[in-house]
Amino acid sequence: MGLQCEACSNSINVTHKRIKCTSCALLYHSECVNFDDTSSLSRNQWKCPSCLIKQRKVGDNSKTPVRSSKPQGSITQPSINVCNPSEISDLLPHLEQLLDKKLKTIKEEIVAEIKSSLLK
């Protein structure tokens, strides 16, 4: 019953330097996750790449803005006309913001994916 590295799926021998994730308690070869074994401080706080990704996603979700309230203005007329051009121009910045956030999230995911595949 040997220990197994979650990154390379090879066994971890006593001679191997290993690092344990403080979050999911899985073991990794130090070299598989580029862990600097000389610093004992970070060892107690180290989290594996997949836990870091999960953590970041949770943080993002908590920051997701609730649908913003209507922009201030003296528009008193009821918006019966759905295709009101002024309404669309009011929505545009909001849509841009949403799109920006989406793209950023996707970008972060891709970067994380590349990083984790490089570590394997």
Return residues touching Zn ion (CB under 5 A). 5, 7-8, 21, 23-24, 29, 32, 48, 51
Residue 53 or 98: which CB sits closer to Zn ion?
Answer: 53
Q: How far apart are CA 44 and CA 103, in angstroms?
A: 34
Least distance to Zn ion, CB of residue 11, Å: 9
Least distance to Zn ion, CB of residue 50, Å: 6
Residue 44 or 64: which CB sits closer to Zn ion?
Answer: 44
Residue 23 or 116: which CB sits closer to Zn ion?
Answer: 23
Residue 31 or 90: which CB sits closer to Zn ion?
Answer: 31
Least distance to Zn ion, CB of residue 2, Å: 12
Please spell the DSSP secondary structure of the chain, one letter per residue. --EE-TTT--EE-TTS-EEE-TTT--EEETGGGT--TT-STGGGT---HHHHHHHHHHHHHHHPPP-PPPPPS---S----TT-HHHHHHHHHHHHHHHHHHHHHHHHHHHHHHHHHHH-
Least distance to Zn ion, CB of residue 92, Å: 41
